[in-house]
Structure 1
Amino acid sequence: MHLIQFMNKVRYHFTNKKRPSANGLEFIGPLVSSVEETSDPISTVIKGEIPSWITGSFLRNGPGKFEFGKIK
């Protein structure tokens, strides 16, 4: 089978596949926006030693607290 034929079959499978309805489901927006953003750096205490060959910055991204409606 040629690559183009294979890609056409894959495309057909995913575009014609029946998916369950999402009606009545809550969306994820409140899950990731329940805590105020921390835009200022927060210092920390490092235990141990950082290897001398490590350079750069460490940036952690993402929510630290999950709430969904009344579920905490």
Structure 2
Amino acid sequence: MERNVGGLDRIARGVLGIWLVAVAAAAYRNGKRSRAAITGIAGLGLLQNATTCFCGGNYLLGIDTTTDSGGDE
């Protein structure tokens, strides 16, 4: 998989992912299991995108938010 998530996009996905996981935990504690499952899956998906620097949606749409720094990584 080639990287297609970087910079500010990666930070935003990480922050939003953490927030959604926290919302999922709160919903689970309040007995709203379906809401907890949906927000938990969304949050974990965003955290996976931020960690691996790859997003399948970006790939399908041809979006690349990485910047070429000139070095091979």
TM-score, normalised via structure 2 length: 0.25
Which has the larger share of helix?
2
**Which of the two has higher C-alpha Rg?**
1
TM-score of the two chains, using structure 1 as the length reference: 0.25
